[in-house]
Amino acid sequence: MKVNLKNNSSISSEKYSAITDFLQFSQSRSRLKSSIDVVIVDNSQVLNMGNKYFIKTKDIPFNDVINMLSEIWITEFATQNKIPCSSKEATLLSQYFFKNNPQYQNLI
């Protein structure tokens, strides 16, 4: 499984690094079976197209960006593995990430 990450935004390199770390963290906890594409953008009217997800970052708190990624990840995990998951799993995934990576907790 591969996550194709593309940065088409003006986010800082520290935030981009945190997103990369989050995706690796998520894959180590809840492996996806199929590849997905994640595109980091400043703004977009479209949030997803098939297995391609657009993550808006402009004027959005960084923890909300991670929460969006977490929701996408858990939704993909549930779909690909044909198991029911709720939004609680997404919340727990992002909370666990920040707990294990305190250096990212204060990114704005």
Write out the residue range of the structural domain in which residue 50 sits: 3-104
Q: Please state the rounded mean pLDDT for residues 54-82.
A: 95
Residue 1 has pLDDT above 80, yes or no: no
Q: Is the pLDDT of residue 108 over 80?
A: no
User: Dihedral (C-alpha) 73, 77, 79, 84: value to the nearest 10 degrees?
Assistant: -110
Global confidence as pTM: 0.93
- Work out the percent of the chain whose per-residue pLDDT is above 90: 87
Q: How many domains does the chain have?
A: 1
SS (H, E, C) 41-98: ECCCCCCEECCEEEEECCCCCHHHHHHHHHHHHHHHHHHHHCCCCCHHHHHHHHHHHH
Tokens of 44: 């977009």
Residues 49-62 have a mean pLDDT of 93
Name the pLDDT band for 96 (thresholds 50, 70, 90). Answer: very high
Which residues lie across from 39 on neighbouring strands? 6, 54
Cβ-proximal residues to 13 (8 Å cutoff; 6+ apart), any chain:
none
